[in-house]
Amino acid sequence: MLCLAQVLDSVDVTIVNVALPAIQEDLGFSTSTLSWVVNAYMVVFGGFLLLGGRLGDMYGHRRILLGGVVLFTVASAAAGLAQSGWWLVAARAVQGLGAAFIAPMTLALIALIFPEGPPRSRAFAIWGAATGIASTVGLFAGGLFADGPGWRWIFFVNLPVGVALLIAGRLLGEGTRPVRSSRGFDLAGALTSTAGVGLLAYAILQTDASSRGALLAVAAVLLAYFVVHETRIAREPLVALRLFRNRSLLGANVIQALRGAAMFAVFYFATLYLQGVLGYSALQAGLAYVPLTVILIAASSVGPLLVRRFGTGPVTAAGSLVTAAGLAMFTGLTPDGTLMHDVMPPLLVVGLGLGVIVVPLTTAALAGVADSSSGVASSLLNVSAQLGGALGLAVLSSVAAGATASASGGPVETLVAGYRVGFGVAAGLMAIVVVIALTVLRDRRKAS
């Protein structure tokens, strides 16, 4: 049930992308406003994650999870019925709000329901496999619906899933009781963190450099005040900053941000190469990721065994090194390449590395965290993934664009040159992860 909730959340990050041309044609979006079909979801999702996690810790993880499912399901119906651009963007924003309440609760409930050790590691492995499936399913499901019954079914398909989740919610029993505080709720912390993270996500997704700078400055001020408020003013902080004294949690969040940047880069550059250079359709490009899903599932299922044998740090480092090697293989892309020779081998290597990382990273992020803070700790991991992915993609796409502009040759040759540089920088980020994992996560070894 928790994995299905995570799939509902994750698949909507990618499923809309390949249907954007059809949505633009039907609802009359301009080129500059079309991106908000994606951005409205991402900004609200990222902005409300911390609030969603804290509400779960205070009022019950099961209750907040099911409330998020209701919001997400109703918003999905509204999105499918949209008759104008603003209607669809508003519905996507509400979807993002529901997702922000669902995502941290799935991890928090796993941590509460399954005891630490092998049972929890196995649960994290299944959860990680579901997340990997959702990310790739979204890429080809969007093309399947857009080419078939129409783009509206991208949203309507969420309705039976949401209803099934609400019915299955009664299966969640012990370990989900609320942890209420007698000193009230930190409203100022909730407002400043939500506004700060939301503006940061919005700024990252902006294409106008001048407005991006101003938004980043405002976001920095809000987040700086949030830190001061949580450490010196709030009686009941939204996020107890003492959590960051936990080396394992801090290191896991930094690694998660860099991992998100690498994964977004793979989907972004590989999809552009498949469609723009090799001439694949949206559906064909999505289907090319099916082997990645298979290898992610297989690798994540091995994660618990590796963690018990070698510990979180060494396993995370090994998976990151494999991921870096796969990204480096992508730097050999050529304008006249093929799927099986140029794309599939590095894609499988990257999938193997990313799959191995799932369990040790999640285990490290929640190790030693009290039940009363599990929702916030899970939210932090999700925030790191979303903002790390968005910021990393913005940086990597800018670097690739610069490389394209300075390269010589025809349009296709220069594009491929940019993609190669983007993949090379992403490989460098994963190399940094190897160092962090070996130094920061080295004390998290688990006994078998």
The fraction of the chain above a pLDDT of 90, given in percent, is 20
Residue 424, exposed/middle/buried by CB under 10 A (0-12, 13-18, 19+)? middle
d(CA 421, CA 400): 6
Task: Quote the pLDDT of residue 208.
Answer: 63
Please give the helix or strand (H or E) that residue 221 lies within, else none.
helix 209-228
pTM for the predicted model, two decimal places: 0.74
* 186: amino acid identity, one letter: D
Map residue 4 onto helix, strand or coil: helix
Given a contact cutoff of 8 angstroms between Cβ atoms, the answer to whether 94 and 184 are in contact is: no
Given a contact cutoff of 8 angstroms between Cβ atoms, the answer to whether 307 and 121 are in contact is: yes
For residues 13-41, give the mean pLDDT: 76
d(CA 295, CA 274): 20
For residues 242-256, give the mean pLDDT: 80
Given a contact cutoff of 8 angstroms between Cβ atoms, the answer to whether 233 and 364 are in contact is: no
For residues 41-53, give the mean pLDDT: 79
Point out the least confidently predicted range of 148-162, 208-222, 226-240. 226-240
Residues in the chain: 448
Token pair in block for residue 38: 């994606």
For residues 363-377, give the mean pLDDT: 70
Angle CA 426–401–30, to nearest 5 = 115
d(CA 323, CA 213): 32
Around Cβ 280, how many Cβ atoms within 10 Å? Answer: 18
**Torsion angles phi and psi, residue 175, rounded to 5:** 85, 5
For residues 228-243, give the mean pLDDT: 74
Nearest of 447, 5, 356, 398 to residue 204 by alpha carbon: 398
d(CA 38, CA 336): 31
Instruction: Work out the widest C-alpha separation in the chain, in whole angstroms.
Output: 67
Q: Mean pLDDT, the chain, as a whole number?
A: 81
d(CA 119, CA 69): 26
Q: List, in order, residues 6 or more apart from 96 with CB less than 8 Å away.
A: 40, 41, 42, 43, 44, 45, 48
Task: Quote the pLDDT of residue 346.
Answer: 94
Task: Quote the pLDDT of residue 426.
Answer: 92
Compute the half-sphere exposure of residue 405: CA atoms within 13 Å on the CB side of its CA.
Answer: 6
- The predicted-structure confidence for 387-426, as pLDDT tens digits, reads as follows 787 777 778 877 888 888 888 888 889 989 999 999 999 9
**pLDDT category, 169, cuts 50, 70, 90?**
confident
Q: Find the DSSP H helices in 279-373.
A: 282-287, 290-310, 312-329, 344-366
* 277: amino acid identity, one letter: V
Given a contact cutoff of 8 angstroms between Cβ atoms, the answer to whether 241 and 224 are in contact is: no
More confident residue, 172 or 261: 261
- The predicted-structure confidence for 311-355, as pLDDT tens digits, reads as follows 888 999 999 999 999 999 999 999 998 989 999 999 999 989 988
Q: Which range, 47-51, 247-251, 342-346, is most confident?
A: 342-346
Q: Is 279 left (phi over 0), alpha (psi -120 to 50) or beta?
A: left
d(CA 144, CA 219): 38
For residues 26-52, give the mean pLDDT: 77
The fraction of the chain above a pLDDT of 70, given in percent, is 88
d(CA 213, CA 104): 30
pLDDT reading at 443 higher than 50: no
Task: Quote the pLDDT of residue 372.
Answer: 62
Task: Quote the pLDDT of residue 94.
Answer: 94
**pLDDT category, 175, cuts 50, 70, 90?**
very low
Task: Quote the pLDDT of residue 447.
Answer: 34
- The predicted-structure confidence for 109-148, as pLDDT tens digits, reads as follows 887 888 777 787 788 778 877 776 776 677 777 777 877 7
* 339: amino acid identity, one letter: L
Q: List, in order, residues 6 or more apart from 248 with CB less than 8 Å away.
A: 312, 364, 365, 367, 368, 440, 441, 443, 444
d(CA 95, CA 28): 21
